[in-house]
C-alpha cells in the first residue's frame, strides 16, 4: 500500500507517520513517498521520520522526491497537506486584512479568501495529475481552506477526494466528555455545515440525545472550551454548539480588535517558530526527533494560551480529545482500505444532504465510510440563520473558484465583497490590491 504525502516537508508530517507506525493491521501502509517543492524541508522531515521508525519492526519505508508526477504514480492514497506561500503567506493573509480593519485569519474571512485564491490553482493542477497518473487513488485533502479546496479538486476527481478537519471530531469529543459519556467514540455527533462553519445540534448515545442536558446546565457549559468561548446564554439561544471558528462571526468586532492589538499574529508566530526548527535541522549532527518534538511541544503549549490566534489560539486543550487530524486521516484510510465501516465527519459533495445547496457543493457532515468511499448521512435541515451563513459563504467560495479559473480580478473583488465579514465593496477592492501586491501566487489575477 503506497501513500504519497504532498507537503511532505511540512512540520506535521511526523504526526502522520507516528499514526502509521501505530497501525499493525493487515492492509496497512507499507510505503510512504514524501513530496515537497523544498528539498531542504524534505530532508529535515525525512530525518525525523527515520528516527521515529528506527526501532519499529516493519516501519513503512520512506522515500522523498521533489518530482510531483513521480510521487503520484501508483499511489493508493494521496494525502494533500500543502501550504501555498508557506507560513510567510499566512502571516501576509492576516496582516493585509487586519490593516483594513477586517478579520485576517488562516481560513476565515478575507484571509481565508486570499489563501483560497492562491491555493485553488495549485490544488487543481494536483487533481488533474492524480486523475492522469493515479486514477484509482483516494485523495485525502487536509489543505486549507479545506472545504473550498476539496470542492475545487472534486471537479476533477469526483468523490475520490475527501476533505478532513480535526475540529468537528474534537468538538464532539469535548461535548461527550463533559456529558460523562464513557466512550466518546460511541456517540453520534449530529453536526453539519461547511468546513469551519458547522454546528453540533445533537449528540446521541444509544439513540438518546444528550445535548439538551448540556444546554440546560450552566456548570457543564462553563467547563469546556466552546462553552466558555461562546458563553452559556448564547449557546442556549442557538440551541446548538457551534464550531469554534464561528466565534469570528458571532464576536467579529472583538476578535478583530484583539488580533489588531496583538504583538504577533498566529501565522507570524508559527513562521518564526518553525523557521528555527528547519534552521537547526541544517546542522548534520542535530538530533532530529528531539528537535522536532521540542518545537511541537512549544507549539502545543500555545493551544492552551489565552488567545491562540495572537500568540498563538483559544483555550484548546492540547490533549488527545482534540481528535488529531492524523487520526482522522488514518481512520478514513483504514475504513476505505479494509472496508471497515466507520462514521466520520468529513468534507464531501452534498448530494442532496442540505437541500438549499446543489449536489456538487462540498459540505462537512457525518459520513458512513466503506470501501466505496464516504457517503453523507441524512441530517435535519439547518435553521434559517445557519442556512443564511452557509449559503453566503458557499457563494463566496464559488466566486473564488470562478476567479481561480478565469483569472478575473473583478470576480476576486466580488468574492471578498460578498463575504459577511467584509463590510464594504471599497474594502474588498483594496484587499485585492493589497494581496496581489504581496503574493506572487496571485499574479494570475488580471
Residues at the interface with ligand G6P (CB under 6 A): 106, 144, 165-167, 266, 270, 313
Instruction: For the CB of residue 339, give the shortest distance to ligand G6P in the complex, in Å.
Output: 27
Please tell me whether residue 108 binds Mn ion under the rule CB under 5 A. Answer: no
Q: Are 273 and 265 in contact (CB under 8 A)?
A: no
Q: Helix, strand, or coil here: 324?
A: coil
| C-beta closer to ligand G6P: residue 174 or 266 | 266
**Nearest-5° Cα angle at 89, 321 to 433:** 130
Residue from 64, 96, 148, 165 binding Mn ion (CB under 5 A): 165
Q: Helix, strand, or coil here: 180?
A: coil
Residue whose beta carbon is closest to ligand G6P:
167
Instruction: For the CB of residue 144, give the shortest distance to Mn ion in the complex, in Å.
Output: 6
For residue 342, give the C-alpha cell: 466507520
| C-beta closer to ligand G6P: residue 76 or 94 | 94
| C-beta closer to ligand G6P: residue 48 or 72 | 48
Applying CB under 5 A, the site for Mn ion has a residue count of 1
Instruction: For the CB of residue 393, give the shortest distance to Mn ion in the complex, in Å.
Output: 14
Nearest-CA neighbor of 349 among 328, 373, 333, 370? 373
Choose among ligand G6P, Mn ion, none what residue 270 binds, the Cβ cut-off being 5 to 8 Å by kind: ligand G6P
Nearest-CA neighbor of 120 among 67, 70, 156? 156
| C-beta closer to ligand G6P: residue 92 or 106 | 106
Instruction: For the CB of residue 324, give the shortest distance to Mn ion in the complex, in Å.
Output: 12
| C-beta closer to ligand G6P: residue 103 or 428 | 103
Q: 197: which strand partners?
A: 194
Burial bucket for residue 114 (CB in 10 Å: 0-12, 13-18, 19+)? buried
Cα–Cα distance for residue pair 401/396, rounded to 1 Å: 9
Choose among Mn ion, ligand G6P, none what residue 295 binds, the Cβ cut-off being 5 to 8 Å by kind: none
DSSP notation for 191-256: EEEETTEEEEEEEEETTEE-HHHHHT-HHHHTTSHHHHHH-HHHHHHHTSEE-GGGHHHHTHHHHH
Instruction: For the CB of residue 168, give the shortest distance to ligand G6P in the complex, in Å.
Output: 9
Measured CA to CA in angstroms, residue 318 lies from 291, 308, 321, 323, 327 at distances of: 19, 12, 8, 10, 15
| C-beta closer to ligand G6P: residue 313 or 362 | 313
Q: Can you give the C-alpha Rg of the chain in angstroms?
A: 21
| C-beta closer to Mn ion: residue 102 or 165 | 165
Choose among ligand G6P, Mn ion, none what residue 151 binds, the Cβ cut-off being 5 to 8 Å by kind: none
Which helix (H) or strand (E) segment is 3 a member of? strand 2-6
Q: Helix, strand, or coil here: 376?
A: strand
Choose among Mn ion, ligand G6P, none what residue 313 binds, the Cβ cut-off being 5 to 8 Å by kind: ligand G6P
Instruction: For the CB of residue 170, give the shortest distance to ligand G6P in the complex, in Å.
Output: 8
From the list 78-86, 157-165, 379-387, 412-420, the region that binds Mn ion by CB under 5 A is: 157-165
Instruction: For the CB of residue 56, give the shortest distance to Mn ion in the complex, in Å.
Output: 29
For binding to Mn ion (CB under 5 A), which residues are involved? 165
Amino acid at each position: 500500500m503506497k501513500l504519497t504525502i504532498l507537503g511532505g516537508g511540512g512540520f506535521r508530517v511526523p504526526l502522520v507517520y507516528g499514526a502509521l507506525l501505530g497501525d499493525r493491521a493487515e492492509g496497512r501502509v507499507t510505503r510512504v513517498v514524501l513530496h515537497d517543492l523544498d528539498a531542504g524541508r524534505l530532508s529535515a522531515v525525512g530525518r525525523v521520520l527515520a528516527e521515529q521508525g528506527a526501532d519499529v519492526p516493519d516501519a513503512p519505508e520512506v522515500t522523498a522526491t521533489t518530482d510531483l508526477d513521480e510521487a503520484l504514480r501508483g499511489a493508493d492514497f494521496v494525502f494533500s497537506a500543502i501550504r501555498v506561500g508557506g507560513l510567510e503567506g499566512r502571516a501576509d493573509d492576516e496582516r493585509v486584512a487586519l490593516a483594513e480593519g477586517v478579520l485576517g485569519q488562516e481560513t476565515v474571512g478575507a484571509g481565508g479568501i486570499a489563501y483560497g485564491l492562491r491555493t485553488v490553482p495549485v490544488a487543481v493542477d494536483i487533481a488533474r495529475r492524480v486523475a492522469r497518473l493515479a486514477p484509482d487513488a483516494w485523495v485525502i485533502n487536509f489543505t486549507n481552506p479545506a472545504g473550498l479546496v476539496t470542492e475545487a479538486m472534486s471537479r476533477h476527481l469526483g468523490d475520490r477526494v475527501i476533505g478532513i478537519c480535526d475540529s468537528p471530531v474534537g468538538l464532539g469529543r469535548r461535548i461527550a466528555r463533559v456529558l460523562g459519556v464513557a466512550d466518546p467514540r460511541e456517540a453520534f455527533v449530529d453536526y453539519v455545515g461547511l468546513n469551519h462553519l458547522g454546528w453540533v445540534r445533537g449528540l446521541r448515545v444509544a439513540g438518546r440525545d444528550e445535548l439538551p442536558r448540556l444546554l440546560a446546565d450552566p456548570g457543564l457549559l462553563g467547563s469546556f472550551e466552546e462553552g466558555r468561548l461562546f458563553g452559556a446564554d448564547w449557546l442556549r439561544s442557538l440551541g446548538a454548539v457551534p464550531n469554534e471558528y464561528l466565534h469570528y462571526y458571532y464576536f467579529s468586532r472583538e476578535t478583530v480588535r484583539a488580533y489588531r492589538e496583538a504583538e504577533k499574529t498566529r501565522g507570524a508566530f508559527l513562521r518564526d517558530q518553525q523557521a528555527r526548527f528547519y534552521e537547526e535541522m541544517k546542522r548534520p549532527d542535530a538530533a532530529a526527533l528531539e528537535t522536532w518534538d521540542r518545537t511541537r511541544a512549544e507549539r502545543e503549549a500555545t493551544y492552551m494560551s489565552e488567545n491562540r490566534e495572537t500568540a498563538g489560539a483559544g483555550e484548546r486543550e492540547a490533549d488527545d480529545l482534540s481528535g488529531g487530524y492524523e487520526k482522522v486521516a488514518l481512520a478514513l484510510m483504514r475504513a476505505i482500505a479494509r472496508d471497515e465501516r466507520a462514521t466520520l465527519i468529513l468534507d464531501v459533495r452534498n448530494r442532496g444532504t442540505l437541500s438549499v445547496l446543489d449536489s456538487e457543493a462540498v459540505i462537512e457532515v457525518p459520513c458512513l465510510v466503506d470501501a466505496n468511499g464516504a457517503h453523507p448521512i441524512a441530517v435535519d435541515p439547518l435553521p434559517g440563520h445557519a442556512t443564511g451563513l452557509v449559503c453566503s459563504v458557499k457563494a463566496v467560495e464559488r466566486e473564488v473558484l470562478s476567479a481561480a479559473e478565469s483569472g478575473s480580478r473583478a470576480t476576486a473583488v466580488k468574492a471578498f465583497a460578498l463575504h459577511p465579514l467584509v463590510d464594504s465593496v471599497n474594502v474588498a477592492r483594496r484587499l485585492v490590491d493589497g494581496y496581489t501586491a504581496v503574493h506572487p501566487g496571485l499574479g494570475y489575477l488580471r
